[in-house]
């Protein structure tokens, strides 16, 4: 079975400071992992994905995530937060069945203070 | 390029009324199609997936049903809405074969049952 745990339901940072959104996963197989962002009243947008290539994955808008198998973690980071980064972020693990569906974490709401 | 359309964006329906949400995909053929729901304060939950016309699999027992009358059309329905059906519904598609792990989501429908 696959599962994903986002350790913080809410994170607040000041503009210009680093962002860290934590994610731990559980998977019986080598997982594919994703981070999606959802801005208010909008659909989901893919930030980045890990599919067993480089363990440090760079995404859009300056975000990156590092796959650490020993820690079963896939934390999302950004060196300097912008006001436009305020949104909800979902860590996602891909389920390895014929239907190729995704298991979502419960989400982390990122607030950026001016 | 591939695009996904989902409508309506928002919907307010009384308890007991019917529901029909439509999703269409352009620029690809034979996609896997999905309906997800995000209840308030929770992560996304897979409701239905389809690997082809007329092929629907349900993930959770509920008051909803799905249909795929055409290759790139996916419809979410209910005969009688419940208050608990309120939430944010997202349609998504992925390639049915190949090494791509990308999932593309529609912009979502916010359903409020009153």
Distance from CA of A5 to the nearest CA of B (A): 10
What mean pLDDT do residues A15-39 have? 89
pLDDT recorded at residue A64: 97
**More confidently predicted of A3 and B24:** B24
> Which chain B residues in 51-90 lie under 8 Å from chain A, judged by CB atoms?
51, 57, 59, 90
Q: What percent of chain B has pLDDT over 90?
A: 53
Q: What are phi and psi of A61, to 5 degrees?
A: 60, 25
The most confident of A16-25, A51-60, B97-106, by mean pLDDT: A16-25
Residues 6+ apart with CB under 8 A from B99: none
Residues 6+ apart with CB under 8 A from B97: none
User: What's the pLDDT band for A98 if we cut at 50, 70, 90?
Assistant: low
Tell me the HSE value of A20 on the side-chain side, using a 13 A CA sphere.
Answer: 5
Q: Do A42 and B57 touch (CB under 8 A)?
A: no
pLDDT at B30 over 60: yes
Q: What are phi and psi of A97, to 5 degrees?
A: -130, 180
Q: Do B46 and A41 touch (CB under 8 A)?
A: no
> Which chain B residues in 94-113 lie under 8 Å from chain A, judged by CB atoms?
94, 96, 101-108, 110
pLDDT recorded at residue A58: 94
Q: Do B103 and A51 touch (CB under 8 A)?
A: no
Contact A13, A30 (CB under 8 A): no
Among candidates B44, B57, B107 on the partner chain, residue whose Cβ is nearest the Cβ of A99: B57
pLDDT recorded at residue A41: 67
**How many residue pairs bridge chain A and chain B with CB atoms within 8 Å of each other?**
56
Give tens-digit pLDDT for B37-90. Answer: 987 666 788 899 898 999 998 887 678 999 999 999 999 999 999 999 999 899
pLDDT recorded at residue B98: 47
pLDDT at A113 over 80: yes
Mean pLDDT of chain B: 87
Mean pLDDT of chain A: 88
The most confident of A29-33, A82-86, B3-7, B104-108, by mean pLDDT: A82-86
- What are the C-alpha distances in Å from A47 to residues A50, A96, B26, B63, B99? 11, 21, 22, 33, 19
In B, which residues are within 8 Å of A21 by CB distance? none
pLDDT at A46 over 90: no
pLDDT at A7 over 90: yes
């Amino acid at each position: 079975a696959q599962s994903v745990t986002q350790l913080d339901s809410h994170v607040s940072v000041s503009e210009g400071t680093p962002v860290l959104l934590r994610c731990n996963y559980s998977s019986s197989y080598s997982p594919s992992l994703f981070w999606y962002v959802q801005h208010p009243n909008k659909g989901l947008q893919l930030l980045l994905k890990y599919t067993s290539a480089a363990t440090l994955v760079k995404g859009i808008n300056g975000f990156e995530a590092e796959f650490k198998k020993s820690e079963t973690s896939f934390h999302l980071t950004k060196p300097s937060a912008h006001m436009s980064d305020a949104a909800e972020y979902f860590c996602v693990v891909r389920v390895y069945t014929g239907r190729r569906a995704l298991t979502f974490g419960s989400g982390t709401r990122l607030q950026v203070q001016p | 390029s591939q695009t996904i359309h989902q409508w309506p964006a928002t919907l307010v329906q009384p308890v007991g009324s019917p529901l029909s949400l439509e999703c269409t995909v352009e620029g690809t053929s034979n996609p896997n199609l999905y309906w997800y729901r995000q209840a308030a304060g929770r992560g996304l939950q897979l409701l239905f997936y389809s690997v082809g016309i007329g092929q629907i699999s349900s993930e959770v027992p509920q008051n909803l049903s799905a249909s795929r009358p055409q290759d790139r059309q996916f419809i979410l329905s209910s005969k009688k809405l419940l208050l608990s059906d309120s939430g944010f519904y997202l349609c998504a598609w992925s390639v049915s074969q190949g090494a791509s792990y990308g999932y593309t989501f529609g912009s979502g429908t916010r359903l409020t049952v009153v």
